[in-house]
Structure 1
Amino acid sequence: MENIKFAWHKETSSEYQKRVVEEDEEPPKWDFIHMIQMLYYVKDIPATLKFFHGLLAANAKILIILVSGTSGWEKLWKKYGFRLPRDDLCQYVTSSDLAQILDDLGIKYECYDLLSTMDITDCFIDGNENGDLLWDFLTETCNFIKTAPLDLKEEIMKDLQEPEFSVKKEGKVLFNNNLSFIVVEANV
């Protein structure tokens, strides 16, 4: 890795976009841009993709990693997202949504799925601290188990044990945590 230059920007994508736009010079071109588990937290996904795609050098790539459209996340978010309280900006976007956005923008890409599960067994043990934290993670809601309406908790708890969300194996409940790796091509 001796001859590889890397620029680390400790700022949000919108902060970076604003900074680049405000500079009076031509924006830098990049050979590789990664967007790993971050598109959930931008306000305007199409505009963000279009902006960063415009920063690619010839033959460059963007690597996007986010939850797959075949994951339990997609089913959880589509069914319950509108009922979950939002503590922060979180867009419930999956690879299926992203493929549609990229198609609409006319941007070339390839998509690869990585099969993955997450053990959520502790979610079903009353008073389990790890389970409570998993609930917060799954729902993007702080103190979900203590603050959510009982009917919502019961519905989600039941669904998370169903085959379209999870598999049961060796006494564990394994949530479908499939991820997608999307490789975006530069315009040639």
Structure 2
Amino acid sequence: MAAEENQTCFEGRTLQNFQVYLEQSGDHEASLRCVHNILPGEFKRIGAGKSHLDVLGVGSGGGEIDAPMLTLLQSTFPGVPITADIVEGSSQLTDNFKGINNSERHSVIALVAKTTNIQKIPFTWYTMHSEDYERPVKEKGDMKTFDFIHMIQMIYFVDNLASTIKFYHSLLKNNGRLMIIVEADNSGWDVLWKTYTKELCVGAITECRSSGEVISCLKSQGLKYEEHVIPNTFDITECFNPKSQTGQCLLNFFTVKDNFYQSFTPEIRAGMLDLLRNECSSKKDGRVFFNNNVSCILVHA
């Protein structure tokens, strides 16, 4: 569950927790499996016969997933102009992403060093919440539309799931696709947050959402979609060592808190740790592996 754009997300201490999570979890690698296994065929269908292609990334973070997707789209249609609009609430992550296509040098540019060809793509940057992007677009009335819109691990942070999906779906061009990547139903995230809703849904995230909630929303709006589940697990054994800095960062990120041990009563902490060990994970060779399955949902225009 990657944080997207709330004021508590991806600045300062929370950014540190997120970076530790990315290093440990394979979350980006799971999303990239979607890119490599699912998107080649989708891009061929999306772009067939079009003279230009427009992409919108909502909650794009530092661009680690956007860059491979744009590279794939460009290689699929090498002679077709592409534009990319990026909506991301973290100024620090946006600056990191901008390092891809200008002369600045950021520490994360090595992550996308092999994608320098996207420097040819004109970017438009919106450093704001997704709802803050939505409001002026609706007021202006002259809405730019897109062939491909992606919302990767950010749907947890929007105020209204149904209206958000309806709005971004309305921005799709003919034969376009909206791709939503979200924690899978019954994943470790889903179990933790639905068990401790009262304690966890009090800040940046106000309600529990996994692929189940997203699909229910799509069905209620009569939208056509396809779901692809991407299996993923990672070792969270360090979470059960109170002296482990890595474990503390993971626990902070799991619960969207700055300090797990100070944020909950001893009883709640013990219950969460027991749940993480026994209901959210599997065990192998004395290690604890968190169920980090994600769902890639492709919504048709």
Give the 3-state SS of the residue equivalent to 1:93 in structure 2. coil
TM-score (norm 1): 0.92
Of 175, 180, 188, the residue aligned with 2:290 is 175
* Identity in percent: 35
Distance 2:267 2:185 in 1: 26
Name 1:20's counterpart in structure 2: 137
Distance 2:154 2:134 in 1: 15
1:58-137 equivalence runs, <5 A: 58-84=174-200, 86-137=202-253
Name 2:109's counterpart in structure 1: none
Deviation at 1:26, TM superposition (A): 2.6
Unpaired runs of 5+ residues, structure 1, are none
Give the 3-state SS of the residue equivalent to 2:142 in structure 1. coil
Change (3 A) 1:39 1:145: same
Deviations 1:78-131 (A, max 9, x none): 111212363424532000111111111111111110001122111101221111
Distance 2:186 2:175 in 1: 30
Relative CO higher for 1 or 2, CA cutoff 8 Å, sep ≥ 6?
Answer: 1
2:267 partner letter: D
Which stretch shifts more, 71-80 or 175-184? 71-80
Name 2:300's counterpart in structure 1: 185
Which stretch shifts more, 121-130 or 7-16? 7-16
Which stretch shifts more, 47-56 or 136-145? 136-145
Give the 3-state SS of the residue equivalent to 2:85 in structure 1. coil
Contact 2:151 2:179 in 1 (8 A): yes
Alignment coverage as a number of residue pairs: 184
Pairing 1:139–2:217 present? no
Deviation at 1:68, TM superposition (A): 0.3
Deviation at 1:5, TM superposition (A): 2.2
Distance 1:90 1:37 in 2: 15
Distance 2:173 2:266 in 1: 52
Which stretch shifts more, 37-46 or 164-173? 164-173
Give the 3-state SS of the residue equivalent to 1:32 in structure 2. strand
**RMSD of equivalent CA atoms:** 1.5
Pairing 1:36–2:140 present? no
Unpaired runs of 5+ residues, structure 2, are 1-73, 88-125
